[in-house]
Amino acid sequence: MVDKYQNSIIKVRGLTKRFGKFTAVDNLNFDVSQSEIFGFLGANGAGKTTAIKILCGLSSPSEGNAEVAGFDVYKQTENIKKNIGYMSQSFSLYEDMTIVENIRFYGGIYGMPLTLLKERTNHMLNRLKMTEYANKLIKEIPLGWKQKLAFSVATLHRPKIVFLDEPTGGVDPITRRQFWDLIYEAIDIGITVFVTTHYMDEAEYCHRVSIMVDGKIAALDTPDNLKQQYNAKSMNEVFLQLARKK
Amino acid sequence: MKQLLAFLRKEFLHIFRDYRTMIILFGMPIAQLLIFGFVISNEIRDANIAILDYSKDYQTQKIKEKILSSGYFILTVDLKAENEIDAVLKAGKAKLVLVFEHDFARKLEKTGKAELQIIADASDPNSAEILSNYTRAIVNNYMIGINNGLTTKTVVFTEPRMQFNPGLKSVFMFVPGTMALILLLISAMMTSITIAREKEMGTMEVLLISPLRPTQIIIGKVVPYFLLSFINAIVILALGFFVFGLPMRGNLLLLISESMLFILMSLSLGILISTVSKNQQVAMFISMFALLLPTMLLSGFIFPIENMPLALQYLSYLMPPRFFIVIIKNIMLKGTGIMFVWKETLIILGFTIVFLIASVRKFKQRLE
Amino acid sequence: MRTILFLLQKEFIQIFRNKTMLPIIFIMPLVQMLVLVFAANLEMKNIKMKLVDFDNTATSQEIVSKFKASPFYNIIGYSYSVEEAQNSLIDNSADLVMVIPPNLEQDILNGQSPKVQLLIDAINGMTAGLINSYSSMIMLDVNKDIAIELMKFSANQQLKQISIKQRFWYNSGLNYKHYMVPGIIVILVTIIGMFLTALNIVSEKEFGTIEQINVTPIRKYQFILGKLIPFLLVGLFDFALGLFIGKLLFGVPIRGSLFLLFSFAFLYLVLVLGIGLLLSIISDTQQQVMFLTFFITLVFVLMSGLFTPIETMPLWAQRVNIINPFAYFMKVNRMILLKGSGFFDLIREFLYIGIYGIISIVVAIRLYRKTS
């Protein structure tokens, strides 16, 4: 029998994570295919960050299986790390280093050749219109810039998948729109995007979304199908219905 | 009042949840006292000694016996030649080398003069001097002994009396210093760091816009540390008294009030530090290098102030613990009353007022 | 290898941009050397003595003049009441009161043995011991003189005298600073190495950047080397700076091989940084790591033999010192600098520190987790 998900780049089967008696992630099952934007939605504390940490190899699951880019989350975390990019809610650029120093550093530790690194750095700074600020310290630039920069750095080494954990917290709608432009450019070159958010308008931009409630996946489909299924005008309504149900 | 209580509860929770810090806060004074009480001593016993005896006669034999039976020395190497001395000292096998010249006994009989050389490893000058003194005393006694038949035994005796600390226990010296250090550590360092932390994390703003008044915030921050310091002071005193046999010659009540005054001084210093530092790290380094190190070094805690160059002696007048240490020593160990410590008390009070005024000013500036 | 270079580049950028770190690396050694060396002085050069002379004869004068002649004593006054003299011990104006009894001279001539009392403020047991030791030496001298006088007087026979020649090797002036400087350099290097490493890693934890590093394919050993090498260099730099100041300002000799010294310093720093790393792994906040480091440093420094020789400590304390890194370097630094000891005198220390260092790094790498 041919597995219809044979080509999926993330495979999750029965994934569970417990902290003592508390089950943060409860029996997750889903697949993500290449170049897809997979939205991972849920209220605060629904278990999104825990799940994403397992998929990135930062944390081990208690039960179940998962494969990321073809590698096992129990044993092959170091291989996973070579193939992914990650951007967390608290960003992780060094505040006391300049834009270009941060780019160089992260590019360097992913083993990018210097010429390629230079080329991509220039391209990236151009694209972000930050060329003339290349030597500014991170702590001197606005939040929205930091987020766009953090995303570009996370995809600098062209990973197969990039995990974004609440990437757009605390910025204005225009900046968020620009941020999503960057995401679309990333999938154009074949990167898969796995993004958690609690902005429901952003959910509309995803190819497919899953909605987590209390550690479980309550719904998973394209935004249009979900709206139809729940007879809702927006993803926000879908989400509210699901949250009320429990 | 209710708000203040709620706030206090939060502060206590913060402190007690961080059990690692608690262990250190109570473990540190105990460890320090144990070290000072049991480890550090100025008495040298069983020092390694090497002997180069060119003569090997009955006189040198007797002198050697006297020296080795004194309890101060253990013979580790019997040398054959002068050129071995350097190697023995360099390898640290001996701290002292005794050299008896050729024909020691014969010269002593014939000419009435013989020579003994003491070569001490003076890379540790204090030990070298003490060991050399021990040896000289033993040899001089021996000399008076062999001349004894000729003379009356008239000697002037010295009768040393170790006042206040007959057992020469080093812990007597260190209990007051440890008190000062630990009270400063908890009151000044901890307070400054926690306030700076709230600033750094932005939670200070939340507190400032809450219905709590600034004085209430400060009180809430300060009371837990006041209690903690106070308990620690009692623990240190009790340890000193019950474990190390420190006397309590003066008035306990006076001592406790003086300690409270010192804690208040430290707290106001902590508040001042926190108002001038923008984050935890700065507060930490100020406390560490401007507070703890000088306290250990310049307050007479370990090293006597009189031995220091004048510039450092003047600098030590700026160290509040210096005065507190004098107060504790005087009350506890010398048994004096307020008559002998009123000057120091006033000075600490002065420091407290200055720190408080300075931090209130700084605080207002920030709010405006 | 390339990854490590990028890590190193990043660390150096951060160190040189950090306004708290730079003064610690460059200014603190200077201040510490200046203040500590002058402050940490246990030699007694100025013993304040008060005299109560009830005898007031040529003999008592002679005793007093012997004390006056010594460079250690400073006679601050005379009194005719023991009680009043004792008060000067209480208000700290005197360290020592000497009471010469009435009829001292007469008693000596009568063949009795009078007693001179020394009242010493003994709260500081260490200095009291030294004061006692100095004073008895002087009294011994007095005794010898009196005895010789009397003997010459009573019998015209030849005396047997043993003349004692004292020689203080490696530090003939008994300069206490030469003893302290090597010890203080050790403290300096250790504190800088341990604190900076520990704080650096914990602050990456606090700012969350460590998580970003953990999702990269960096290997544990690469990350740890990237953290250790910069602080190792900083430590060696400060060691050299300390030696330089010691030589220039205090004239501390460098008798042994500098290569040997720096080799030991290198091994020692590996160990100290490994310990800093361990401390940072078990702490979550800068405050915790700061207290922990402070506590450990304090205990180890006090036990290290900085101002009292380790051999005078009780056996259990000497055993504890087996795990005290300070104790080794303190000893080795003094031996190489002051005595010019060679490698064969120090094989044991080299071995211990080497093995100990390897253990600490291995344990640190083991304990450091990229996953939570």
Which of A41-50, A217-226, C196-205 bottoms out in mean pLDDT, i.e. has the lowest? A41-50
d(CA B98, CA B49): 8
Model confidence over C66-119: pLDDT tens digits? 898 888 888 898 988 888 888 888 878 888 999 999 988 888 888 778 889 899
Closest CA in chain A for residue C206: A90
Residue type at position B286: I
Helix B170-184 vs helix B214-238: angle between axes, to the nearest 10 degrees? 160
Contacts of A109 in chain C (CB under 8 A): 3, 6-7, 213, 216-218
Supply the pLDDT for residue B143: 80
Residue B43 has pLDDT above 80, yes or no: no
Superfamily of the domain at B47-150: abc type-2 transporter like domain (3.40.1710.10)
Q: Any chain A CB within 8 A of the CB of C319?
A: no
The answer to the question of residue A155 being in a domain is yes
Question: Which residue has better confidence, C254 or A1?
Answer: C254
Give the residue-averaged pLDDT of C255-280. Answer: 93
Token pair of C233, please? 């260099």
DSSP bridge pairs for B48: B74
Model confidence over B294-350: pLDDT tens digits? 777 788 877 778 778 888 888 888 888 999 998 988 888 888 888 888 899 999 999
Is the complex ipTM more than 0.85?
no
Supply the pLDDT for residue A91: 64
Nearest to A58 among C10, C209, C215 (CB): C215
The answer to the question of residue A240 being in a domain is yes
Contacts of C207 in chain A (CB under 8 A): 90, 92, 95
Number of independent structural domains in chain A? 1
Residue C249 has pLDDT above 60, yes or no: yes
Q: What is the CATH number of the domain that holds A198?
A: 3.40.50.300
Token pair of B64, please? 């050697």
Contacts of C218 in chain A (CB under 8 A): 109
pTM of the predicted structure, to 2 decimals = 0.82
Contacts of B336 in chain C (CB under 8 A): 90
Q: Any chain A CB within 8 A of the CB of C24?
A: no
Examine chains B and C and say if they touch (3+ CB pairs below 8 A).
Answer: yes
Supply the pLDDT for residue C355: 94
Supply the pLDDT for residue B330: 87
Q: Any chain A CB within 8 A of the CB of C22?
A: no
Nearest to C41 by CA among A131, A2, B316, A72: B316
Burial of B319 (0-12, 13-18, 19+ CB in 10 A): buried
Are the C-beta atoms of A215 and A23 separated by less than 8 Å? yes
pLDDT category at A237 given cuts 50, 70, 90 is confident
C contact residues 218-257, partner B, Cβ 8 Å cutoff? none
CB–CB contact C217 A110 (8 Å):
yes
Model confidence over C293-341: pLDDT tens digits? 888 888 888 888 887 788 778 888 888 888 899 999 999 999 999 988 8
Model confidence over B52-96: pLDDT tens digits? 999 888 888 989 998 898 888 988 888 898 888 988 888 888 889
Residue C48 has pLDDT above 50, yes or no: yes
Contacts of C118 in chain B (CB under 8 A): 158-161
Domain encompassing residue A192: 34-58+83-245
Q: What is the CATH number of domain C47-154?
A: 3.40.1710.10
Residue ranges per structural domain of chain B: 2-39+168-367, 47-150
A contact residues 46-65, partner C, Cβ 8 Å cutoff? 53, 56-60
Nearest to B307 among C44, C294, C308 (CB): C44
Question: Which long-range contacts link A202-207 to residues 24+ away (Cβ below 8 Å)?
Answer: A202/A39, A202/A168, A202/A176, A203/A39, A203/A41, A203/A235, A203/A239, A204/A234, A204/A235, A205/A37, A205/A39, A205/A180, A206/A37, A206/A38, A206/A39, A207/A36, A207/A37, A207/A38
E strand residue ranges, C57-201: 73-78, 96-100, 115-121, 161-169
Distance from CA of C286 to the nearest CA of B (A): 8
The answer to the question of residue A173 being in a domain is yes
Contacts of C2 in chain A (CB under 8 A): 108, 111
